[in-house]
């Protein structure tokens, strides 16, 4: 491009937010063709999208190391500085952030573009005013135009993270610092977007979109945001003022501070900057503040240089050219970059020199060394990787084997893992994307470029999701936007155990929806803390209502007394009598009255559904009995028995049913058995109702109706002491003598006895059955008598029994549902010893 050395050159210099890049893009679009070089792939992509919107996708190209979009008719190119095709004819050429020629790592690239990249009709150099002396020395023909900042940039002092204003960007200088700050903001302010130079454009755009849309009010970034990325930031806070530059940890230069701080404010809206530390090495000095506010940057007195078109006649000539010193003046030899270090390492290998004997071979070796170390492995591991590439590029057909390329990218096509793991895969796939965009390195470069692009997009989507999951609490973010000024602006935190705190002060405990103020809260702080908590807890209760409305069945339980439904450790509804035993009324707990009607309705519907579902799962027989009572096709005797069973919770003594059970025909009994009911010798019951969950649910249903049936029997109990908690017929235990025996086991003993007897002849039942249950011999004797057997003389030391005939049962005068204190409530005390 130096053939256009006589074309006009304009240098537009000034601080951030002066519209330099905007001006250059307008000039680019005003020419028949053009090209711009940028310091970041992210920035090149951002401007590419703008130019595509103006000119159409077929007219615009994007060239970066890992991405190339180059339509055949592309007239305007947006590139990273390293990727600018200097042999391409363009009417307009621009170099952005040209002051980066002073950067030790990449400065030689920007200096080379400053010296050699020219447009046919116009060249524009953009940068800081610090570049002015370098232009005078190196490009004296350039017309220098200074541009003032559109808005004021002022120092706002030090602020803690919890006090940062909304629309703030916090800048840290390592991934670890970025993640730590973002995690703290998630806890204090609902979350933050994350922007780092190592992110793919896809991930970066997704994160920025969250910030720009107001889904989060904070952005945590590395110094990559200083390179012209357009963000709606009003305040920039520095998490620190030192960085590791690849060799040592050093304090930022004033120019670096100003470049980053200048991201605050946009167009004519003023911006502020500050730090998180009020003093120490993390705080600005008065001199630095004065320089940043007044845009008084130290002028550059040198730029780094390396021959941009070195001699490729031999490996040694190439190395010598890259290590050549510039002549006297403002140029300084660039420090050894990774590409040169890799070249020198490979040049020690005889096989490398043997394959790089010709200029074409040297050019191919140098191109391979140009592969960036995206994974930050260091010179030795990266040199081994480049050596493998060069070996493939110099044998056979000169292409990298497709099976190796495919196998390596297949290993990376995995979206599982945490933030660091997925980010590492993206860094690795960038190397393969770079390789795929070298037209002569693969047999089918377009195919592999598309494959690597697709993998990077999938990984980028996964990384955005992981970043959002890890660093954004959307609910908290939305709630905090609704908090007003003053005391209510304090961040209220609710711990894993429901502890509620504001700025470290304990407020109390939130159990479910019930808030209890801490008894030791200081009187002087209580009003301020409660004012903050009231606003926050209103939102928290709404959030919990949504969680409860979507809660799985296992998250909702019954209280020990069966009177309440419990969620997250606190009562949410109370059971009260309804029109039927299995249809109690659920009344929401008092704290839920503060919810919006729609939220209350959603919670009510969820709890009603939970109760109906629980009854359907654990008390299936009751549901079927209820259906029988409403079945118009069922006979009256069957409906009467079903109604009595339903009213008594599926367990009824035979003598309570009286003549109703005798009136049942065989078909009726079959229908009851189909519903799950066992028609036993002493009781009608469904054995499933004796299981622990069913027992607890039935106990709650009785309690809601006001029937005092005692406690829930202990899980697994077969025999209880008479009068013990749970020893009632309603809960499945029949009192016999001094013990209460589970009714299904009584029925088992009854059936075993009837199976053993032959008419009225004496027989000896196996005592092991009763013993295994836990019945005493006295209890077994009383039970056998109750079942219609009489004791006969013992034979061979074992008690014998003979059938006496079942006695006439005592009849009830009424079968109406008993009220508290009536006969049904006294069943636990019913003396059945006399039979």
> Which alpha helices (H) appear in 158-245, and where do they start and end?
175-189, 201-212
The secondary structure of 423-488, three-state, reads HHHHHHHHHHHHHHCCCCCCCCHHHHHHHHHHHHHHHHHHHHHHHHHHHECHHHHHHHHCCCCHHH
Per-residue model confidence (pLDDT) at position 491? 61
Give the contacts of 557 (CB within 8 A, at least 6 positions apart): 565, 566, 567
**Whole-number Cα distances in Å, 463 to 174, 216, 425, 453, 665:** 18, 17, 10, 15, 70
pLDDT beyond 70 at 532:
no
Choice between 291 and 810, residue whose per-residue pLDDT is larger? 291
Per-residue model confidence (pLDDT) at position 755? 85
Half-sphere exposure of 770 (CA within 13 A, CB side): 22
**Whole-number Cα distances in Å, 58 to 54, 273, 377, 542:** 11, 41, 38, 50
Question: pTM higher than 0.85, yes or no?
Answer: no
Which of 305-319, 543-557, 559-573, 684-698 is the most confident on average? 305-319
- The predicted-structure confidence for 751-794, as pLDDT tens digits, reads as follows 888 888 888 888 888 778 788 888 888 888 888 888 888 888 77
Query: In which band, very low, low, confident or very high, does the pLDDT at 474 lie, cut at 50, 70 and 90?
Result: low
Choice between 522 and 318, residue whose per-residue pLDDT is larger? 318
- The predicted-structure confidence for 13-49, as pLDDT tens digits, reads as follows 998 888 899 999 999 999 999 999 999 888 898 899 9
CA distance linking residue 104 with residue 327, whole number of Å: 18
Lowest-confidence range among 52-56, 187-191, 293-297? 187-191
Query: In which band, very low, low, confident or very high, does the pLDDT at 809 lie, cut at 50, 70 and 90?
Result: low
Give the contacts of 301 (CB within 8 A, at least 6 positions apart): 133, 330
Per-residue model confidence (pLDDT) at position 568? 85
Per-residue model confidence (pLDDT) at position 525? 42
pLDDT beyond 90 at 800:
no
User: In terms of residues, how long is the chain?
Assistant: 835
pLDDT beyond 70 at 819:
no
Query: In which band, very low, low, confident or very high, does the pLDDT at 506 lie, cut at 50, 70 and 90?
Result: low
Mean pLDDT in the chain? 85
Query: In which band, very low, low, confident or very high, does the pLDDT at 834 lie, cut at 50, 70 and 90?
Result: very low
Q: Specify whether the CB–CB gap between 726 and 712 falls below 8 A.
A: yes
Q: What would the mean pLDDT of 665-689 be, rounded to a whole number?
A: 89
Tokens of 327: 């002549």
Q: What would the mean pLDDT of 500-526 be, rounded to a whole number?
A: 65
- Other CB atoms within 10 Å distance of the CB of residue 460: 23
Choice between 480 and 784, residue whose per-residue pLDDT is larger? 784
Give the contacts of 440 (CB within 8 A, at least 6 positions apart): 398
Tokens of 619: 């008390």
Q: What would the mean pLDDT of 678-692 be, rounded to a whole number?
A: 90
Choice between 379 and 657, residue whose per-residue pLDDT is larger? 379
**Whole-number Cα distances in Å, 331 to 106, 107, 302, 328, 604:** 14, 11, 5, 7, 76
Q: What would the mean pLDDT of 518-531 be, rounded to a whole number?
A: 52
Q: Specify whether the CB–CB gap between 461 and 469 falls below 8 A.
A: no
CA distance linking residue 825 with residue 817, whole number of Å: 10
CA distance linking residue 44 with residue 62, whole number of Å: 7
Q: What would the mean pLDDT of 733-739 be, rounded to a whole number?
A: 88
pLDDT beyond 60 at 258:
yes
- The predicted-structure confidence for 378-422, as pLDDT tens digits, reads as follows 899 999 999 999 999 999 899 999 999 999 999 999 999 988 899
Q: Walk me through the domains of the chain, giving residue ranges and CATH numbers.
A: 2-146 (3.40.50.300), 153-294 (3.40.50.300), 620-829 (no CATH)
Which of 21-35, 189-203, 592-606 is the most confident on average? 21-35
Tokens of 439: 């037209």
Per-residue model confidence (pLDDT) at position 42? 82
Per-residue model confidence (pLDDT) at position 835? 35
Choice between 768 and 642, residue whose per-residue pLDDT is larger? 642
Per-residue model confidence (pLDDT) at position 479? 39
Per-residue model confidence (pLDDT) at position 524? 43
pLDDT beyond 60 at 107:
yes
Choice between 483 and 588, residue whose per-residue pLDDT is larger? 588
pLDDT beyond 70 at 814:
no
Per-residue model confidence (pLDDT) at position 724? 85
Per-residue model confidence (pLDDT) at position 223? 82
Place of tokens 């636990």: 828
Query: CA torsion angle for 99, 102, 103, 107 (degrees, to 10)?
Result: 80
Percent of the chain having pLDDT more than 70?
Answer: 89
- The predicted-structure confidence for 329-353, as pLDDT tens digits, reads as follows 999 999 999 999 999 999 999 999 9
- The predicted-structure confidence for 218-238, as pLDDT tens digits, reads as follows 999 988 777 656 778 899 999
């Amino acid at each position: 491009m130096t053939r256009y050395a006589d074309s006009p050159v304009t240098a537009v210099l000034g601080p951030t937010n002066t519209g330099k890049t905007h001006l250059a893009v307008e000039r680019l679009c005003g020419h028949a063709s053009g090209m711009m070089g940028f310091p970041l792939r992210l920035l090149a992509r951002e401007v590419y999208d703008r130019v595509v919107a103006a000119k159409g996708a077929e007219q615009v190209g994007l060239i970066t190391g890992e991405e190339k979009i180059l339509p055949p008719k592309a007239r305007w190119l947006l590139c990273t500085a390293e990727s600018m095709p200097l042999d391409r004819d363009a009417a307009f050429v621009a170099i952005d952030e040209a002051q980066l020629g002073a950067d030790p790592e990449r400065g030689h690239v920007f200096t080379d573009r400053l010296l050699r990249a020219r447009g046919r009709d116009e060249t524009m150099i953009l940068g800081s005013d610090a570049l002015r002396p370098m232009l005078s020395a190196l490009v004296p023909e350039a017309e220098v135009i200074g541009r003032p900042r559109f808005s004021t940039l002022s120092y706002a002092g030090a602020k803690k993270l919890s006090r940062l204003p909304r629309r703030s960007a916090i800048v840290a200088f390592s991934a670890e610092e970025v993640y730590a700050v973002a995690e703290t903001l998630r806890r204090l302010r609902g979350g933050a977007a994350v922007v780092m130079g190592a992110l793919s454009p896809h991930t970066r755009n997704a994160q920025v979109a969250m910030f720009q849309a107001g889904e989060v009010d904070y952005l945590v970034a590395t110094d990559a945001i200083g390179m012209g990325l357009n963000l709606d930031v009003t305040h920039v806070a520095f998490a620190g003022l030192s960085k590791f530059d690849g060799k040592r940890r050093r304090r930022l230069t004033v120019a670096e501070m100003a470049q980053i701080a200048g991201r605050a404010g946009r167009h004519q809206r003023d911006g502020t900057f500050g730090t998180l530390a009020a003093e120490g090495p993390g705080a600005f000095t008065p001199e630095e503040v004065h320089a940043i506010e007044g845009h008084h940057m130290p002028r550059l007195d040198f730029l780094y240089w390396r021959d941009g078109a070195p001699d490729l006649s031999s490996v040694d000539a190439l190395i010598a050219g890259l290590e050549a010193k510039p002549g006297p003046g403002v140029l300084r030899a660039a420090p050894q970059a990774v590409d040169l270090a890799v070249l020198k390492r490979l040049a020690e290998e005889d096989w490398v020199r043997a394959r790089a004997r010709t200029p074409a071979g040297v050019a191919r070796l140098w191109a391979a060394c140009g592969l960036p170390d995206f994974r930050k492995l260091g010179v030795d591991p990266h040199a081994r990787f480049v050596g493998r590439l060069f070996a493939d590029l110099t044998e056979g057909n000169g292409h990298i084997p497709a099976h190796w390329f495919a196998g390596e990218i297949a290993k990376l096509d995995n979206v599982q893992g945490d933030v660091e793991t997925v980010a590492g895969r993206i860094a690795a796939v960038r190397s393969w994307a770079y390789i795929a965009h070298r037209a002569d390195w693969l047999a089918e470069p377009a195919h592999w470029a598309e494959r690597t692009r697709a993998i990077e997009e999938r990984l980028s989507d996964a990384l955005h999701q992981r970043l959002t999951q890890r660093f954004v609490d959307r609910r908290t973010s939305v709630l905090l936007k609704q908090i007003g000024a003053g005391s209510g602006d304090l961040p209220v935190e609710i711990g894993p155990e429901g502890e509620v705190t504001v700025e470290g002060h304990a407020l109390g405990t939130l159990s479910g929806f019930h808030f209890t103020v801490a008894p030791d809260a200081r009187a002087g702080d209580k009003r301020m803390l409660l004012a903050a908590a009231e606003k926050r807890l209103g939102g928290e209760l709404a959030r919990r209502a949504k969680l409860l409305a979507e809660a799985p069945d296992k998250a909702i339980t019954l209280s020990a007394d069966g009177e309440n439904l419990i969620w997250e450790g606190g009562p949410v509804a109370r059971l009260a009598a309804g029109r039927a035993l299995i249809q109690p009324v659920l009344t929401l707990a008092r704290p839920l009255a503060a919810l919006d009607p729609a939220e209350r309705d959603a919670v009510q519907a969820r709890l009603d559904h939970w109760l109906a579902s629980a009854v359907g799962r654990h008390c299936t027989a009751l549901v079927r009995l209820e259906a029988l009572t409403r079945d118009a096709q069922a006979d009256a005797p069957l409906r009467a028995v079903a109604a009595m069973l339903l009213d008594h919770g599926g367990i009824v003594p035979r003598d309570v049913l009286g003549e109703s059970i005798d009136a049942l025909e065989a078909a009726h009994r079959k229908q009851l058995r189909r519903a799950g009911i066992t028609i036993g010798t002493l009781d009608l019951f469904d054995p499933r109702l004796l299981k622990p969950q069913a027992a607890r649910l039935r106990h709650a249903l009785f309690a809601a109706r006001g029937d005092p049936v005692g406690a829930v029997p202990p899980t697994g109990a077969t025999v209880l002491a008479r009068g013990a908690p749970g020893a009632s017929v309603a809960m499945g235990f029949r009192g016999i003598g001094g013990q209460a025996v589970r009714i299904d086991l009584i029925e088992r003993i009854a059936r075993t006895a009837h199976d053993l007897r032959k008419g009225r002849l004496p027989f000896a039942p196996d005592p092991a059955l009763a013993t295994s249950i836990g019945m005493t011999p006295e209890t077994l004797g009383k039970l056998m008598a109750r079942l219609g057997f009489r004791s006969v003389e013992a034979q061979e030391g074992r008690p014998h029994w003979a059938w006496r005939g079942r006695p006439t049962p005592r009849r009830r005068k009424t079968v109406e549902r008993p009220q508290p204190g009536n006969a049904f409530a006294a069943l636990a005390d019913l003396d059945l010893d006399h039979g």
